[in-house]
Structure 1
Amino acid sequence: MTHQLKILPEYFQSVVSGVKTFEIRKNDRDFQVDDEVLLQEWTLSEGYTGAQALVRITYITDYAQREGYIVFAHQLVSHSIVQGGESK
């Protein structure tokens, strides 16, 4: 299954660079290990930027999380960055 989620630019850049390998999210989509997540960069002022990263969930836990929330570890599969209207 592939899920689509918004992600703010500062977090998106950390995912693409490989520094951020996890997400803390509300578990309202029944996330499972091996699911793919399309992280779509989004800003409050502009909406979707067109940049996106596809990640695969490798581990899930709800340890020490608020009710209904999980942490999932992920591995970057691919990404595209949009600059000046062109995809890279």
Structure 2
Amino acid sequence: MVTHCLKIKSEHYIHVINGTKTAETRYNDRNYQVGDILILNEIDSLGNFTGNSCQVVVTHILDDSEYFKTGYVMLSFHMLNKLSD
């Protein structure tokens, strides 16, 4: 299990927090694995950190070139906790 600190735009972060967004498509430059922890740090429209973040755990990884460009995966996750807000 590895912890990854990632940025997420406010427009997507709010949906993670309210539970309607449970997956994220990312370039797999970090060799994501099931069980990895993602710390999602909210950024505003200018790319500035808002100070809000949450922690999720990766529950499934879809790596299928039929649906994604080479190198991209869909990470399914569930919320562990909200770290700030």
SS at match of 2:11: helix
Instruction: List aligned pairs for 1:26-45, cutoff 5 A.
Output: 26-45=27-46
Conserved? CA contact 2:3–2:39, under 8 Å: yes
- Alignment TM-score, normalising by the size of structure 2: 0.90
Match of 1:11 in 2: 12
What is the letter of the counterpart of residue 11 of structure 2?
E
Instruction: Report the count of equivalent residues.
Output: 82
Residue aligning to 1:20: 21
Q: Give the drift of 1:46.
A: 5.6
Q: Does 1:67 align with 2:74?
A: no
Give the TM-score of the pair, scaled to structure 1: 0.88
CA RMSD of aligned residues (A): 1.2
Gapped runs of 5+ residues in structure 1? 83-88
Contact 2:10–2:45 under 8 Å retained in 1: no
**Which structure carries more strand by proportion?**
1
Sequence identity, in percent?
A: 34
Gaps of 5+ in 2: none
**Distance in 2 separating the partners of 1:18 and 1:74:** 10
